[in-house]
Structure 1
């Protein structure tokens, strides 16, 4: 009888490879990756939560009930390169020069021309675009000079479309998102920079932004752990030479004991057998007998 059973193998692609990497991480690593893939900014609160999970994993903190993580590879939330990306509109502009709030700048698939009299705000929009997109001339965005107080923080919403999917990013909240780097701004001042400043070349395969952000988060966790170690470290009570007489392996190890000492090295000196205890008792008795004999000799 013929066996018609078919074996279905998962096709290896970037998504499955990324998920495989994430699932191989301990809980604190999975938590970080899930936040990155969700498109969330890795703020201090996320680092603190991940650090708490790390301490639990190291056995330095009591285990707690942790929520189950859902790892979903969402290309629209990640900072990956987007295919067929177009800049659709700019809305909710606040705190930029004297630009009127709640204006919408829509861009057509072909050519969009913005015109107006001097002081109408054309340069204000250009300054904003220079700071958001790739530019070699990121000038300062000035507040409204016509008012003395009540200046709002600089903010704007940028709307994009990628293969029929609408994507909205906020500035400066989503600064650093890879989508912003897919557009460049050019004017006369930037042209001078291109002629006078050499371009830096870098290459990074699309789809690997997760690892850049994960590595940056690991550096923050490492700094936090190192800071805690330094805070909790105390002076070595065995560093005083008066405690030991002569030289020995134990003396050398204990006087150099610190938070950098390896636990395995310490454990190597821990075994203390019954035979060693009996030998120490015998040596102590001989030492006491010698002291008595010396005292009698002096008399």
Structure 2
């Protein structure tokens, strides 16, 4: 196991400041809700702007219908939260509530309106709300956590994902982290602790989801597939036809991990899959040769060729 990075005196001022500010805003929202509906503003639903950021990946339409029934029976308990922009009022929290009001043909909805909320703070509020959803899928929760880290650190999605993969490779003793990466490790771990959801290790275990086949990610997002079954089905990602067929069987049969492994195995033994594997391997061989292998000493070239021949032989006789 890789040694844990030695902690330095790391400045977490910016991330801490944002998260503290988030806590103050959440307290303000909670207090306004406790004070009662007199504090809320009725806002025209048609005028509410959608956020610039995709705060949710999938919405259960039946859950929205059920929410509309509850609202019709007892009223809206929690108002939506909007932020004031030059262009109008933008939704921060409350997509399902707005959709439920639309389902009831309501024209306005009670809202709390926030002033001077930055893009980063809006993302933090959205991500926090998403992480608290009872019906959130493991995939959407992971994306919400990454959104939270992005907003707190000011890094891009690409930067965060690259950093997380380096953390993962460090844990596997494949690479050493640079000093600034070690610092970032502790900053991110502290941020995650404040979410109460995951630590760095837990997030790294889910990292593979981000690179899965699109139809697997869609099924994960919609809570149609478990993470363990998704990992097994990913083995078929080289053949869209087989993957779609296997996914359909797993969903329809409600397959366990063992049953899913058996289904995946049936498709992996197919000649088409083997042919695809060989083609993919040949492409990798071309890339290896293009990266200067031919410039290596002859003994090194022969060693590489020997390994490649052994791999090809294993696949060809599968």
Q: TM-score scaled by structure 2?
A: 0.20
Higher helix share: 2
Query: Max radius of gyration: which structure?
Result: 1
Q: TM-score scaled by structure 1?
A: 0.21
